[in-house]
Amino acid sequence: MKKLILALAILATSTAQALEPIPNIVPVPADNPMSAAKIELGKQLYFDPRLSLDGTVSCNSCHNVMAGGADDRPTSVGINGQRGGRNAPTVWNAALLSVQFWDGRAATLEDQAKGPPLNPIEMGMPSEQAVEERLSSIPGYKTQFDAIFGQLSYDNMAKAIAAYERTLVTVNSPFDRYVNGDNMAMSDQAVKGMARFEKIGCTNCHSGINFAGPEMTMGEGFYQKFPLFESKYTRQYNLDEDKGRYEVTKDSADTNTWRVPSLRNIAVTAPYFHNGVVKTLNETVQVMAVTQLDVTLSESEIEEIVAFLNTLTGEFPVQTMPRLPGIAGESLVGSIK
């Protein structure tokens, strides 16, 4: 048994070197340093549905930190029951991405946090000023913003939320322990799956600490065309209906191009793909092999790769629900004309 484990470890050495364990420290921009007070304010804002027009949707509604960081739906539900067009990416380890959103339209977590409150399908607030006025009407928020930033503003709201999101990192997965020297952290099947993951070419896109591509300067995204090869899955799952980054740049070269998603915690973030149409991880592996690598895998090969992907689930920092600041004798929801 020991000889088998050693042989598998040698087989996987090149793969483990091509991939990297997750760091304990995430990049923090110079203009938004972390502090306990800022993180706590950001956490309150993240959980507060009053950032939405009708008081029904918070950041956590679509990116549930009590679970896998998404919402387990193909596409998320916004105000008035509206459905978005894309699957909600997980917020866990988003701080390690160089751009945000499926199409990379936000360069930073701060930029990303500014989007949903004003999106008419998501939170539906009419303007930045409307958000500022609502938050200013809540004494507890006004006091915290003044103490931390010197003023309450839409930009500072985004900075606080981003500071909280930078604490949402899942370390010490079985894979991380394995590449850090614990040869017993991964099963034989998972080690074989890691080697196969590299051999068939998955690491061409899913490499680096977040399994989302090489380390890049913040704001410089790593993108790939999807689907790359025409197949039955393209039609079955409408994989090329959404034009991806093209909708941002209007450059034909960006048609059906996407920011490469992280594979960290992928086992707990179903359903899969930008439109959330594939329900299981096993089928997702087969679809990716066919559409991106022009390879058809056997059931046993799929099981090996899935066993490896399961080792990418890290330890989730314990989250507690924050106490939100209130306002006496009045409801703010519906007060915006």
Look at residue 63 in the predicted model and tell me its pLDDT: 98
The token pair at 307 is 């066993």
Q: Which long-range contacts (CB under 8 A, 24 or more apart) does 322-330 make?
A: 322/40, 322/43, 322/44, 322/47, 323/44, 324/44, 324/47, 324/48, 324/50, 324/140, 325/44, 325/138, 325/139, 325/140, 325/141, 325/144, 326/138, 326/140, 327/137, 327/138, 327/139
Token representation of residue 153: 């503003």
Length of the chain: 337
Q: Do 306 and 242 touch, CB atoms closer than 8 A?
A: no
Q: List the chain pLDDT tens, one digit each, 337 residues.
A: 433 333 334 344 444 446 788 887 899 999 999 999 999 999 999 999 999 999 999 999 999 999 999 999 999 999 999 999 999 999 999 999 999 999 999 999 999 999 999 999 999 999 999 999 999 999 999 999 999 999 999 999 999 999 999 999 999 999 999 999 999 999 999 999 999 999 999 999 999 999 999 988 888 999 999 999 999 999 999 999 999 999 999 999 999 999 999 999 999 999 999 999 999 999 999 999 999 999 999 999 999 999 999 999 999 999 999 999 988 787 776 655 4
Task: Please report the domains of the chain, with CATH numbers, ordered by start residue.
Answer: 2-25+170-310 (1.10.760.10), 36-165 (1.10.760.10)
Active site residue 110: no
Q: How many CB atoms lie within 10 A of CB 330?
A: 8
Q: Of the residues 110, 122, 198, 301, which is catalytic?
A: 122
Both tokens assigned to 109: 């977590």
- pTM (predicted TM-score): 0.92
Q: What tokens appear for 115 in the block?
A: 């989007």
CA 335 to chain centre: 33
pLDDT of 332: 73
